Amino acid sequence: MGYKVAVVGATGNVGREILDILAERAFPADEVVALASRRSQGQDVSFGDKILKVKALDTYDFSDTDICLMSAGGETSKEWSPRIGSQGCVVIDNSSAFRYDPDVPLIVPEVNADAVVGFSRKNIIANPNCSTAQLVVALKPLHDAATIKRVVVATYQSVSGAGKDAMDELFNQTRSVFTAGEVKVEKFTKRIAFNVIPHIDVFMEDGYTKEEWKMVAETKKMLDPKIKLTATAVRVPVFIGHAEAVNVEFERPISPEEATAILRSAPGVMVVDKRENGGYITPHEAAGEDATYVSRIRADSTIDNGLSFWCVSDNLRKGAALNAVQIAEVLINRKLLNKAKRAA
């Protein structure tokens, strides 16, 4: 049986990536519909070897659609996801609009696929923040083995996490630096070309940013509420791919060799750790790949049962589009979509 799938935000970075991944993975869809705002109506987007005409979200009838992959921002999702879910279409949402709603499962299939059954309360499933997604893929097998007490993470996040305009700003600023032109700062708070900015999302009263808070709240919801986590989120002049320096304290001893063996057999993880020049993965190599890469696994001698490692993934794929499609595959493989239609 083929399914009808709608992609909302089909003209954006993540929306286009979703269409590519649906085609790459031969997703069992009889029909894929590209949706966006009215100003994008009529645009062409690629889906495998086909070209789809973008339709307007606000005039589309979802009553015969099985899955909606939503990637149009938080405000659009808040308005439309409940409406779409009420028509029996399951929404898999990439925004932060519903991640912390107790009636909406927050899912990374390699981490907590069983929690997906809770979608039937609202017919909405949330995708985590891109920096959290790759982190919990790496942490989950280690937590199962030795129980994580505390995590300290510093992120090195690419500009694509802030959208196409952010990518254009990095490109234009870089060109201006080389041509001695004016470096215009519009999307970011400071120049991003040849610089790093320790600020992603808005500041909160305690001095952390919303991006850092998301990593804490989402890790607790998906992995274990008892885990203590602190993060510093940093934007770097890279187009695609987020990297993270991760320090973990466990309840039980776990050696670098044991951690390496565990991660090598974990779903969604690829270990590249040769302890030699170039024997690790950078965002450049991870771009376009599905895996969460782990390198530089080593003991932390400053605490008992401590490990440090380096984690890299394509933020547009595992951090967003791929994870959303994998959630849809879980729904199909577990034959859960019929329940959504009955609930409506």
Three-state DSSP at 343 gives helix
- The answer to whether residue 130 is catalytic is yes
- The verdict on whether residue 160 carries a ligand-binding annotation is yes
| Residue 282 labelled as part of a binding site | no
Neighbours of 151 (CB within 10 A): 21
CB 4 within 8 A of CB 66: yes
Q: Is residue 14 marked as binding?
A: yes
Catalytic residue of the set 68, 89, 130, 311 = 130
The dihedral region occupied by 204, where left means phi > 0, alpha psi between -120 and 50, and beta the remainder, is beta
Distance, in Å, from the CA atom of 109 to the CA atom of 126, rounded to the nearest integer, reads: 12
**Annotation-wise, does 163 bind a ligand?**
no
In 3-state terms, what secondary structure has residue 89? coil
Separation of alpha carbons 163 and 3, rounded Å: 29
Task: Confirm whether residue 40 is marked as ligand binding.
Answer: yes
Q: Give 300's contacts (C-beta < 8 A, 6+ positions apart).
A: 247, 249, 306, 307, 308
Measured distance CA(289)–CA(296) in Å, rounded: 19
Consult the annotation and say whether 11 binds a ligand: yes
**Helix H or strand E encompassing 219:** helix 210-222
Is 235 marked as binding a ligand?
Answer: yes
The pair of three-digit structure tokens given for residue 199, joined into one six-digit string: 């600020």
Alpha helical stretches, state H, 87-194: 109-112, 130-146, 164-179
Active-site position among 89, 143, 242, 311: 242
- 129 labeled part of a ligand binding site: no
| Annotated binding residue 134 | no
Q: What letter would DSSP give residue 287?
A: T
Is 298 labeled as ligand-binding? no
Q: Which residues are annotated as a binding site for phosphate?
A: 99
Q: Which residues are annotated as a binding site for substrate?
A: 157, 235
Q: Which residues are annotated as a binding site?
A: 11-14, 39-40, 99, 157, 160-161, 235, 315
The residues that are catalytic are: 130, 242
